[in-house]
Amino acid sequence: MHTIHTMKSMINQRIHIAPVGFEIDRIVLPAVEMKADLVYLVVHDNLSTDKAQKYHTEIQKQLKKQKIKTETVYANRFRLFDIIGVVKKLIQENRKDSFYVNVASGSKIHAIGCMMACMMFDDRDNIHPFYPQADKYPVYKNNEQQTYGVKEIHALPTYQLLTPKQDLLEALKIIKEHDGRIQKKVLAEIAEERKILNIGARKENHSNARFASLDKKIIQPLLNTWGFIEEEKIGKNRWISFTDDGKNASEFLF
């Protein structure tokens, strides 16, 4: 079995993130081989319908024997954006640690979500998605362990997934705080309060300057470049609403 080596020396902990499905060896063996300090186990958030609970318990038991700590986090296994958000948050909150993200231990949705989460960071030196290739693939029977052993561990490359700049994220947060639909005037006022607009020192026509800044810096990029919002005029007021893409993006971008 070949171990993935980091380009930089370990700064703090070696942390594994592994979705829990019907695999045991593909989580436990890489954690042991790669000397993990901690394994985050991503478990389905609806425990009453989760058929993988016995695997979760067995993985915890085996890792405890190896003196490897585990922590359980929850994400809906059927919702891609929920998985991306949970994995991204774990990495974001522990940026000095080295992360090894297992893309083979859960479902295909888990694999895509884990990979996308790894790609959302500018600095990815300490983020290592990997694919543990199983040794044996027996004929799968319902709810039984899918594979046995680990033949090889393959490091996977990451490429940057472009995301909006911070000021645009802050604006999306404001819209989300208002359930995805906000009067443009209110958005402008809150954006000014949170210092994400460029308004000159001139005090005359302040309202017009605020709208101009909002349009140039926030509305146009979110509308034309990202397609995350739409603008609608109702009576004398203009309203800003999430598009479907904007609503989805707001689930995992921040």
* Rounded Cα distance, 100 and 6, in Å: 10
Domain range for 79 is 14-155
One domain, residues 129 and 234: no
Work out the pLDDT band at 122, boundaries 50, 70, 90: confident
Say what the pTM is.
Answer: 0.78
| Pair (19, 117) in one structural domain | yes
The Cα 94–Cα 90 span in angstroms is 7
Report the chain's mean pLDDT, rounded to a whole number: 89
Same domain, 173 and 235: yes
The Cα–Cα gap between 27 and 62 comes to 10
Residue 254 inside a domain? The answer is no
CA-based nearest residue to 140, from 20, 21, 22, 18: 22
Domain co-membership, 132 together with 230: no
Pairing assessment for the beta strands 127-136 and 148-155 based on DSSP bridges: antiparallel
Summarised one tens digit per residue, pLDDT across range 15-56 is: 999 999 989 999 999 999 999 999 999 999 987 777 788 899
Are both 150 and 174 inside the same structural domain?
A: no
Q: Does the structure show a pLDDT above 80 at 191?
A: yes
Taking residues 139-151, what's their average pLDDT? 72
Q: Which pLDDT band holds residue 5 (cuts at 50, 70, 90)?
A: very low
pLDDT band at 151 (very low <50, low <70, confident <90, very high): confident
Q: According to the model, what pLDDT value does residue 200 have?
A: 66
Of 40-54, 165-179, 195-209, least confident by mean pLDDT is 195-209
pLDDT over 90, % of the chain: 69
Q: Of 155, 182, 216, which residue sits at a domain end?
A: 155
Residues 80 and 147 in one domain: yes
**Could you tell me if residue 85 is left (phi over 0), alpha (psi between -120 and 50 degrees) or otherwise beta?**
alpha
Q: What residue type is assigned to position 8 of the chain?
A: K
- Boundary-marking domain end, from 132, 155, 178: 155
The CB density around residue 208, as the number of other CB atoms within 10 Å, is: 9
Residue 2: its H or E element: none
Query: Above 80 in pLDDT, residue 148?
Result: no
- The confidence score (pLDDT) of residue 140 equals 61
The residue among 103, 130, 155 that closes a domain is 155
Q: What is the predicted pLDDT for the residue at 174?
A: 97
Residues 178 and 128 in one domain: no
Across 151-178, average pLDDT: 92
Where in 166-221 does DSSP place strands (E)? 181-183
Q: Which two tokens stand for residue 139?
A: 């004929």
Total domains in the fold of the chain? 2
pLDDT above 90: residue 89:
yes
The tokens 């296994």 sit on which residue?
77
pLDDT at 143: 64
Angle formed by the axes of helices 184-193 and 206-214, to 10°? 90
Residues 148 and 79 occupy one common structural domain:
yes
Are residues 121 and 41 part of one domain? yes
pLDDT at 135: 79
